Amino acid sequence: MKIAVVGATGQTGQYLVNQALLQGHVVTALVRNPGKLTVTHENLKAIICFKLCYVQSTKVIMHILTVSLVTVFQVVTADIFSADSMKTHFKDQDVVMSCLGFPASFFTGVTGYTRSMTAMVSAMQETQVNRIITMTSWYTEPNSGTQSSYLIRFLLLPLIRSVLSNMYEMEQLLQKTEDINWTVVRPPGLKNLPATAQEFLTHEGYFVPDNNGQPPGSAVGRGDVARFMLSLLNSNAWVKKGVAITTK
């Protein structure tokens, strides 16, 4: 597939780009600072595609070897808040995948998630790309953390509420789009670890409950988040849905 990755220089984004290339996808990374992208896969430059063509005449069959250059990865500079800046790079893509993240702010609020998604949706509509997979977090809905531990409820969530609130607003924005097949992936706390082979636990909601219906203390590797996001390319199970994930 042809994948446009927004937020490719972030920690999760770099795992996603690497895994996508390993799986044979064609990747366009939209970045603000190309120098931050440290992907090292052997497919970064290009690959040579050999095609054997058979030309049959009345007497002989000639084998003609044609060589073409197929770019499997490119890095482009784009303004993530501008539909005009992104639409050139969204053209002919099969899917947009966003790993964007923005820091918490106590004074001005966080608006990056809604501003960037508004621009992405507009660019997708102009270029007729109708599939996007993006990531937010557990507990984006304001009341979804009421059953979490005291540490999470009274310390962690207030610290990052500005981020979670704007993530939730972005999720609401996607729910109002009729012509975009979106999926929101909600991981718990993130660890900077590569992908594993662990089984995923999923739940259509704002956290993955344990056997008692409570949110367990949980964290997942960024590589596994990327692995789950890429697995959605071959599945319609979570189209137009938000899915909370963790690993066993």
Predicted local confidence at residue 71, as pLDDT:
66
What's the pTM value of the predicted model, to 2 decimals? 0.88
Between 42 and 89, the more confident residue is: 89
Residue 138: how many CB atoms within 10 A of its CB? 26
Return the SS3 of 31.
strand
What single-letter DSSP state applies at residue 43? T
Q: Which of 31-40, 68-77, 142-151 has the largest mean confidence?
A: 142-151
Tell which residue, 102, 135, 117, has the closest CA to residue 244: 135
Contact 173, 219 (CB under 8 A): no
Residue with tokens 């962690």: 156
* Residue 228, both tokens: 């789950």
> What value, to the nearest 5°, has the Cα angle with vertex 149 and ends 144 and 154?
80
- pLDDT value, residue 40: 59
- Sorting pLDDT into bands at 50, 70 and 90, what band is 82? very high
Nearest to 80 by CA among 6, 13, 15, 2: 6
Q: CA-to-CA distance for 29 and 17, rounded, in angstroms?
A: 8
C-alpha 132/C-alpha 140 separation (Å) is 19
Name the residue with higher pLDDT: 131 or 48: 131
Predicted confidence (pLDDT) at residue 41 exceeds the cutoff of 80: no
pLDDT of residue 86: 97
Structure tokens at 104: 């918490």
The predicted pLDDT at position 72 comes to 85
Q: Enter the tokens of residue 106.
A: 């106590």
How much is the pLDDT for 69?
A: 47
Q: How far apart are CA 206 and CA 144, in angstroms?
A: 6
List the chain domain ranges: 1-245
Q: The domain 1-245: what is its CATH number?
A: 3.40.50.720
